[in-house]
Amino acid sequence: MVCYVTYSSSFVIRFDHPGNYSYEALVGDHANEYNKLQHKSRIMIKTYFVDSFTTEPFKGNPAGVCLLENDISPEKMLNIAAEIGFSETAFVKKMDVDGVYSIRYFSPKKEIPLCGHATLAAAKIVFEKTPVVVISFITGENL
């Protein structure tokens, strides 16, 4: 797969009040310790910046990839995509069937029905982070 992972981190997204959120990057033991805490207003999102169609950093076509463990609202996905600032950010969540993932794409301004380079970026991350060898994505548009 021709992709280069430029950046990866775990972000804690904290939704304190409607329309107000903040995030902080956590690495290493700090991320593991934070995972043990249970806060309704905080969610952990593993986030990756992937350059598709290249094997070199800062080349190709960049996309954000957010691996979700729980559902979040489209408004929150849009806010996160706007904060990341790439043309598209893919939000990926494992479904109940092995190798099947839901995927939704957001630009900084709206949800996008389908995006090739963000799909490729998401597949790169899923293949690297899980033992699956075949992936099926189901989009928000059921494509």
Annotated catalytic sites, by residue? 88
The type of residue at 28 is G
3-state secondary structure of 92: strand
Q: Report the distance separating Cα 71 and Cα 88, nearest Å.
A: 19
Q: Which tokens belong to 102?
A: 């839901």
Contact criterion met (CB below 8 Å) for 88 and 78: no
Q: Report the distance separating Cα 65 and Cα 121, nearest Å.
A: 7
